Amino acid sequence: MKKLFILITLSLFSLASFSMTDKAQKELEKALKGDYQTLRNVAFAMEQGSFGHDKNIVSACALRRVILFVNSDKADDTDYANELITCKNIHATENRQAWEIALTITKSLSN
């Protein structure tokens, strides 16, 4: 079931996510379990298109929001600033998609 969830979530991120490196894919799987630092790392890597992750600003924005929802006790001012900076660079329709992804991930982590 978890593998199915990860596969569905990866498809939400985009078909390009399947071209990421194995290391990046494992890092994404760890992030999708709610690990604070890994979420930060993956969001940065997706924003930049670095460390084996494809550049995907919508997914980066979604993960920045997941950080704030899931790890509110650990989040600091830089996390809020990163969400603002990352998410302001996407179009309104992409912003909606980023919210949908963020809420889907957040709901799955709260179950």
pLDDT along the chain (111 residues), means of 10: 51 58 93 95 95 94 97 96 97 96 94 72
pLDDT value for 47: 95
The beta-strand segments (E) located in 1-111 are none
CA distances from 32 to 37, 58, 109 (A): 11, 16, 8
pLDDT value for 9: 57
Q: What is the phi/psi pair of residue 78, to 5°?
A: -65, -30
Degrees, nearest 5: CA angle 45-40-76 = 140
